Structure 1
Amino acid sequence: MKKNYVVLVAVCLWTCFLQAQQNEKVIIISLDGLRWQELYGGADSLFINNKEFVSNTEALNEQFWGPTKEKRRKKLMPFFWSHIVENGVLLGNRWEENKVNLTNTMLFSYPGYNEILTGRADDERINSNSKHHNPNVTLLEKAQASNTYKDKVEAFGSWDVFPYILNEKRSGVPVNAGYRSSHAANPTEKELYLDHLQKQTPKRWESVRFDVFTHNYALESLQSRKPDVLYIAYGETDDFAHEGRYDQYLKSAKRTDEMIKEIWDFISKDPYYKDQTTVFITTDHGRGTGVTKDNDWRHHGSSIPVADQTWIVAFGNKIQTLGEVKKDAQYFVPQFTTTIAEFLNLDLKNDFPALPIKK
C-alpha cells in the first residue's frame, strides 16, 4: 500500500509539473509613438533629407534608404520583416486599407497605455500624463490575481509613469520603470551591474531612461525568474520624435527591432518558453504626417486626429502565419487586449471581439 501511495504522489507531482509547464506564456511589448508609416514603409522621404531633423543626411540615407517601401522597412526593422512576417501577423498597413485605431480621444501616452492594457478607453478619468494611480484594472493585474499566474507577472518600462499606469501598489505587479533599480528580492549579478551602470549614465530625459536598461532588465528577468506574463515598454522612439531628431528616431526603432530579436532568440531556445510563448506588439499612439502645422510628425494628441492610427503585430505559439495582412479591414486597439486575455484565459469584459489571428 505504501508503495502504491508513493507512486500516486509521484504521478500527481509530475502531472502538476506538466500543467505548470503548459501554462501559456505571453510577452507584451510596446514601442512608444512609432508610426505605422515607418513600420510599413521604412524611412520617410519627407524627413530623411531634411537637415532640420537629420544631422548627417548622407549617412542616414546609406543606412536606411532604399528604392521601395519594402526595402526601406527591411533596413529599418529586419527582424519584423524576416522572422515575424514569415511566422506571425502584422495589422495596420493603411496603404493596403488595413486599419488599426485607438478608441480614446486623448491620443497621448497614458490614455493609450490604459487602452492597450485594460481594453477600454477612459477619457473621463485618464486624460493626462500625470502620475496618478490608474483606477482601471489592467491585464497584468488580472493575471497577478489569478491562481495560474500569481507572482509570475512582471513589467519593465522606460517611462517613469508605468508604476502608476499599472497601479503597482494595488495590483501587486512589480514594475521596473524610469530610473528604478532592480525590483528583485535577490538581484542577480547582472541586475546589480545594470543598477550600477544606470546610476553612472547621463540622463537625456528626466522621466525616460534609455531603452537599453529597460531591455536588459527585462531579458535578465526572463533568464533568471521566468515570468509567465511579461510587459516591456520601450520609450525612446517617442522622445526622439518630440525632439525632432528623425535620425535618432529611426536608429532607436532599429535598435528596438534588434532587442525584440534578442528576446525571441532566448525564448525560442529556453526549455521553459520554447513553443509555449506568444509575443504581442503595438504602440500607444500614432503621430502627425508632415512638416507643416508646426512639424506635426513630431507630435500627437487630440489636435492631430491621425494620431489615433496605430498597428498590431503578433507571433509565436498559437498565432496563425498570416504575414502582412493586406485585406480591407478595421481593427481597434481593445481587440489587442481581448486577444491576450483569451490566450491567458482571463475574464476581460469589453465590447470588442478577439482578433482573428489564433490558430
Structure 2
Amino acid sequence: MRLYILIASLFVCTAAAAQPAQNLILVTLDGVRWQEVFNGADSTLLFDPAYSRDTASARSQFWAGSAIERRKRLLPFLWNTIGQQGQLYGNRQQGNRMNVSNPHWFSYPGYNEILSGYADDRIKSNDKIDNPNVTVLEFLNQQPGFAGKVAVFSSWDVIEAAVNEKRSGIYASSANEPGNPVTATDSLLSDLTALYPREFGNGVRADFLTYFSARQYVKQKQPRVLFLSFDETDDLAHAGRYLDHLRMVQSIDTYLGNLWQLIQSMPQYAGKTALLITTDHGRGHTPKARWKDHGTKTPDSYQIWLAALGTGIQPAGEQKDGPLLFQSQIAATIARLLGFDFKADHPVGAAIGTSTGANR
C-alpha cells in the first residue's frame, strides 16, 4: 500500500492540496533510453570505437565506477536538482516501469500519444500530416487565461503537425522556418537558423537553436505553457554516434538547468511552474547494435521514462516498484497540474495518480 500512496503523491493539484501550477513546461528528448537516464553511459558502446570515435575522451567525460556517478556525469541537472526536488519514473531495474501504449514505438505516434493522451492507430508513420486529435495544448489554449499563451518550439518539423498548428492556432516555431525578428537577439537567432549547417536535413533545426529561440520567447512573451521538443539525440543514435549522442543529451540537460534557473528569476514563473521531461520512445539494447534502432522490430523500444519538478510535484526522488504507467497518461497529467480536467472527443488516459485505476 505504501508504494501506491507514493505514486498518488506525484501530482497533487487537487482541492485538498496546494494551488495548481500557473505555468507548465513540457520537454521531450527524442529517443533517449531509460538505460542512460538511470545508469549513465553504456560501457559496451562507450568503449567501442565503432560507436565512440574517441574512446579516451569518452572515458574521461562520461565514465565512472558506479551507475549513480555515471548518470550524474551525464545528466547533472536531472539528478542533482530533479532527483532531489522532484520525481523520476521508469527505472525498470528498480521495478518501476513506464511504457508507450501505441503499437509502433517510433516518433509521431509517440508525440501524438504524449499530447493527445490517446494511442491512435491512424497515426502510424512519421509523415507530416496534421494531427486529427485535439491535444492537451489545444485544449489549454481554449481555457480562460491561456489563449495565446501556449507556445511550441521544436527541432523536428513534424511537431508542428503533431500539435496541428493550423487548426489549434498555437504558436509553433518548428525546424528551420524563418522568424520575424524584432530585437538584435532575434535577428542573430534568425541568421544562425538560416546559415547554420543542417546536418540532418531541412526538416531538423539544431537543438541549440531550438533552445535559445525558446529562451528568447520566454523572456519576451512569457507563455504559460511551453512545449520544447529536441530531436538530435535520435538522429545521432540512428547514425551510430554514441559519444556524440551522449554529448547532446548532456547539452540538453545543461539547457534545461539554464532554463530552470532563468524562470526562477522571473516573477511570472518562480514558484508557480511545473516541468515535465520525457521521451517519445525507447531504443534497443541487445545486441548492442540495436541501440541505433527502435520500432516494433526492435525489442523493448516501447520502454520510456518521465521526470517531474516544480509546483504540484512532491520531492520524492527516484521511484521504485509501483504500478505500470503509460505515455497516454501524460496529457491528462499536464492538464491536472494546471488545475484542469482534459476532455476530448477521443479517449484520454487518466492523469497519473489522481483517480482509482489511473495507473493500471
Is the TM-score greater than 0.5? yes
1:313 aligns with 2:307: yes
Between the two proteins, the alignment pairs up a number of residues equal to 333
TM-score by length of 2: 0.89
Q: Could you list the per-position Cα deviations for residues 86-134 of structure 1 after superposition, in whole angstroms to 9, with x for gaps in the alignment?
A: 11000000010100000001110000000000111001x1000001110
Which structure exhibits the higher relative contact order, with contacts defined as CA atoms closer than 8 Å and separated by 6 or more residues? 2
Flag the structure with larger Rg. Answer: 1
- Superposition map of 1:342-357 within 5 A: 342-349=336-343, 350=347, 352-356=349-353
1:150 paired residue number: 147
Cα distance, 1:194 vs structure 2: 0.2
> Partner amino acid for 1:50?
D
Q: 2:225 aligns with which of 225, 229, 240?
A: 229
- Structure 1 gaps, min length 5: 1-21
2:136 paired residue number: 139
Q: Could you list the per-position Cα deviations for residues 128-168 of structure 1 after superposition, in whole angstroms to 9, with x for gaps in the alignment?
A: 00011100011111111222200001000000111111111
CA distance in 2, matches of 1:187, 1:288: 44
- Superposition map of 1:244-259 within 5 A: 244-259=240-255
CA distance in 2, matches of 1:44, 1:270: 38
CA contact under 8 A between 1:96 and 1:328: conserved in structure 2?
A: no
CA distance in 2, matches of 1:250, 1:23: 32
- Superposition map of 1:30-69 within 5 A: 30-69=28-67
Give the secondary structure class of the aligned counterpart of 1:79: helix
- Superposition map of 1:161-240 within 5 A: 161-182=158-179, 187-206=182-201, 207-240=203-236
> Partner amino acid for 1:289?
H
CA distance in 2, matches of 1:178, 1:298: 23
Cα distance, 1:236 vs structure 2: 1.0
Q: CA 1:91–1:126 in 2, change beyond 3 Å: closer, same or farther?
A: same
> Partner amino acid for 2:63?
W
2:265 paired residue number: 269
CA distance in 1, matches of 2:182, 2:318: 40
Q: Could you list the per-position Cα deviations for residues 301-324 of structure 1 after superposition, in whole angstroms to 9, with x for gaps in the alignment?
A: 111231110001100112101100
Cα RMSD of the aligned pairs, angstroms, is 1.7
Give the secondary structure class of the aligned counterpart of 2:208: helix
- Structure 2 gaps, min length 5: 1-19, 356-360
CA distance in 2, matches of 1:258, 1:23: 24
CA distance in 2, matches of 1:286, 1:339: 21
CA distance in 2, matches of 1:160, 1:221: 18
CA distance in 1, matches of 2:94, 2:217: 38
TM-score by length of 1: 0.89
CA distance in 1, matches of 2:55, 2:290: 20
Cα distance, 1:351 vs structure 2: 5.3
1:304 aligns with 2:298: yes
CA distance in 2, matches of 1:31, 1:233: 7
1:79 paired residue number: 77
Q: CA 1:234–1:357 in 2, change beyond 3 Å: closer, same or farther?
A: farther
Cα distance, 1:23 vs structure 2: 6.6
